[in-house]
Amino acid sequence: MQKMDCRSFKEMLDSYLCQELAVETNHAMLHHAEHCSSCRCELGARRQLRESLRRSCAQECMSEEALARLRARLRAECLAECGEGTASWTVRWREVVKQLWAPKVLWPFAVTAALLVVGLGAWRWLLQPTSGGQTLSPALFDAATEDHLSCGVKHLNAFLAAGPAAINPESLGKYDLACARLPQVVAPDVAGLHLCAAHVCNAQERQFAHLVYTKDAQVVSLLVTARDAKALGLPEVLPADADNSPQLELNRRQDIQLGAYQTTKRVVIIVSALPALEAKMLNERLALPVAEYLRRSESQTASVMIAPLLWGDFPMILGGGTVR
């Protein structure tokens, strides 16, 4: 057996407690401790110190809210990944990089794929403004901007004064059943957003379901309204392209950024004064999931309806004031 004195015992004691020593050294340690009371005492003291280190560190915990935010972020990332063709640009970019890093044999494939991605992207980008062959009318964007500016700030103040009581999701359900669950569709803390109001409001003879969020001390509005002839500024409403994911339409009013998606019966608009890059992220993370959700609920509704629907009709509206 290895010879062990008090000095080397104390040197190796911590490694012994971490179970990092070889079997023979372990034996030598135990043997020494059996015969040396002072080292036995030191062994007990260091074990105790280790225990109290653990106990004291165990007090430092993450808050429940922080854990919820972590979960929300993961969920948002997961959703962004799996929505086909709707993945955020970071995800796409990572995939392109991953392809480039593949074994050398794959280089030609990777380059072709990258070209294809660029080509497809350009193609889709060219198609973008003509979702379903029809673009939204400038008047709709004006109405959305006005609603955002007048109503969003007012409700933010109400929220600051009254707290969560100011959020009124029931009114959304009265306006449009499919909108009743909207506050839940969006993960609560997606992209640093905080919900502070949900209500129905009017701007320029148009009704909107209006969710007001704050992000970095800025007001962000998510607006849902009927996709009718007036919204398109056209005499006739053609069905939106139901097979592909909704297409983004961008617009601007001075410093205000607008992004819109059309579903068959609705238009989802996001309005904010955020920088273009962040506004783009909100289009993908906030407005697109909402548009996808509405599109799904529309196709479910459509499948149980016996009578054919008139395009542009908004059958779920119960409150008056529908704009045709």
Residue numbers at the binding site for other proteins (CB under 8 A): 10-11, 14-15, 17-18, 20, 38, 41-42, 44-46, 48-50, 52-57, 59-62, 66-67, 69-71, 73-75, 77-79, 81-84, 87, 94-95, 98-99, 102-103, 105-106, 109
| Nearer Cβ to other proteins (102/118) | 102
CB 269 within 8 A of CB 225: yes
| Whole-number Å distance between alpha carbons of 170 and 188 | 17
Q: Which is nearer to other proteins, 61 or 165 (CB)?
A: 61
Closest approach, Cβ 252 to other proteins, in A, equals: 31
- Looking at beta carbons only, is 13 or 316 nearer to other proteins? 13
In the complex, the smallest distance separating the C-beta of residue 91 from other proteins, rounded to whole angstroms, is 9
Which CB, 52 or 157, lies closer to other proteins?
Answer: 52
Q: Which residue has 């560190």 as its token pair? A: 57
The alpha carbon of residue 18 and the mean position of all alpha carbons in its chain are separated, in whole angstroms, by 42
**Residue closest to 231 by CA, chosen among 186, 264, 187:** 264
- Sign of torsion over alpha carbons 304, 307, 312, 313: negative
Between 3 and 7, name the residue whose CB sits nearer to other proteins.
Answer: 7
Q: How far is the CB of 60 from other proteins (least distance, A)?
A: 5
Closest to other proteins by CB, 42 vs 142, is 42
Query: Which two three-digit tokens encode residue 52?
Result: 């109290």
Count CA atoms within 13 Å of residue 71 on its CB side: 9
CA distance 61 to 49: 21
Tell me the closest approach of the beta carbon of residue 103 to other proteins, in angstroms.
Answer: 6
Q: CB within 8 A of 207, min separation 6: which ones?
A: 175, 200, 201, 225, 226, 317, 319, 321, 322, 323
Question: How far, in Å, are 242, 280, 295 from residue 219 at the CA level?
Answer: 31, 15, 26
Cα–Cα distance for residue pair 237/248, rounded to 1 Å: 18
Closest distance to other proteins from the beta carbon of 215 (Å)? 16
Residue 77, judged by CB atoms within 10 A of its CB (0-12, 13-18, 19+), counts as middle
Nearer to other proteins, 192 or 315 (CB): 192
Smallest gap, in angstroms, from Cβ of residue 293 to other proteins? 12
Give min distance, CB of 281 to other proteins, in A: 15
Q: Which residues neighbour 171 within 8 Å (Cβ) at sequence distance 6 or greater?
A: 198, 199, 200
- Least separation in angstroms between CB 155 and other proteins: 27
CB of 214 to other proteins, least distance (A): 17
Distance of alpha carbon 123 from alpha carbon 106, whole angstroms? 25
Helix axes 6-17, 23-35, angle to 10 degrees: 120
147 or 292: CB nearest other proteins:
292
Nearest CB to other proteins, comparing residues 100 and 318: 100
